[in-house]
Amino acid sequence: MARVPTAAVAAGGLIGGYGVARWTRKRQLGGAVLAVAGAAAAQQWRREAGGRAAGALTAAYVAAFAGSHPLAKKVGAWPAVFGVAGAVALASWAVADRRGEGS
């Protein structure tokens, strides 16, 4: 089975969580998408880069979610979500995904 890069899982969780919350008007449903993707990414981060890296990337994921709210007031909701998702994806690739590219 092909491995989905953690960068895609994490970015997809942030973007998908916001999209689901916005389109369904149910914040809890968007939060569930965010949490499931975050847990899946964290498990894969731990397996690929170790516990310390997984903890740091999980903290970055949560900080990105929290930081997107004040950022949205300055640049708009979707640009904020795409910006933080891109930052988390880049960090995830640099710490975890890049290691597994040769496998």
Q: What is the mean pLDDT of residues 37-45?
A: 97
Positive or negative, the Cα torsion across 52, 30, 86, 1?
positive
pLDDT of residue 101: 63
Question: Quick one: the chain helix, strand, coil %, rounded to 5?
Answer: 90, 0, 10
pLDDT of residue 52: 97
Positive or negative, the Cα torsion across 47, 65, 5, 2?
positive
Q: Could you tell me the pTM of the whole model?
A: 0.91
pLDDT digits (tens, 9 = 90+) for 15-33: 999 999 999 999 999 999 9
Q: For residue 102, is pLDDT > 60?
A: no
